[in-house]
Amino acid sequence: MREYNKTNRNSPVWASQNFLTSSSIIKRIINLSSICKNDHVIEIGAGKGHITDKLINQCGKVTAIEIDRSLYGKLSEKFEGIPNLRLICCDFLSWNLPKTPFKVFANIPFNRTTDIIRKLTNSDNPPEEAWLSMEKGAAKRFMGRPNETILSLNLKPFFDCEIKYYFRREDFHPAPSVDVVLFHFKKKAIPDITWQERYSFSRFIANSLSKPKGIYAVLTKKQISTALRMAGLPGDIPRSGEMLYIQWLCLFRCYMKYG
């Protein structure tokens, strides 16, 4: 099935397109995933269809999205008549995510990484799992390495994150100027906070990291040390930028109760 968004007639080609073309590499990274015949998989930025070609044989349904009209036209010709493939020409960031369970596997444009992660993880129906190729530095920020960030702290209550694969630069065409990894996140069976609390948690983190007083802008020193000790954590209070996720989670629960 092919779909073309006419409102996208003048959309620019996404920058930072580094195509992954090696059949053996694509097979290897797909085999690292949990994708199976029962899955609906969304591919963001199908490009020339190298990953699409492998996904349609691995899962029950593939929705491949490509913003570039020229690439979309070539994809339509290449995959004409494939029953389990739905091709869509539009900007993924303006596309409505499915309301039914799905997974994501994609070689995404590096300059849209943060926007794509936010769209996927802030959705009322986020993916069960996602595997995304991205800059190694971006993946480390999402994982909170070496220190937690607003991005990592907003992910961790609901998703487990890891790097599944380290690419060589020559695996891509053209070769990128940065190191690239396959970043994996998986929805937690039981989240650390309720879905309804996510906006409160996000505001709590943003206020704590953006204000000069840091965490002291939202909790007192006594509240902080008491909450940490009651949770079995060291009562010493590190600087906000050096706090671990478990400490942030503990202090958020204190904030919701007393803040």
- Omega of the bond prior to 98 within 30 degrees of 0, cis? no
Nearest to 157 by CA among 193, 189, 207: 193
pTM here?
Answer: 0.90
Q: Using CA atoms, how far apart are residues 87 and 83, in angstroms rounded to an integer?
A: 11
Go through the chain and tell me how many residues it has. Answer: 259
Encode the chain (259 residues) as per-residue pLDDT tens digits.
555 554 444 444 444 479 999 999 999 999 999 999 999 999 999 999 999 999 999 999 999 999 999 999 999 999 999 999 999 999 999 999 999 999 999 999 999 999 999 999 999 999 999 999 999 999 999 999 999 999 999 999 999 999 999 999 999 999 999 999 999 999 999 999 999 999 999 999 998 888 888 888 888 888 888 899 888 988 776 666 688 999 999 999 999 987 6
Q: Between β-strands 61-65 and 129-135, what pairing exists: parallel, antiparallel or unpaired?
A: unpaired
The alpha carbon of 14 is separated from its chain's Cα centroid by a whole number of angstroms, namely 18
Fold of 2-187: Rossmann fold (3.40.50)
Using DSSP's 3-state secondary structure scheme, residue 129 falls into strand
Contact criterion met (CB below 8 Å) for 48 and 19: yes
Q: Using CA atoms, how far apart are residues 40 and 61, in angstroms rounded to an integer?
A: 5
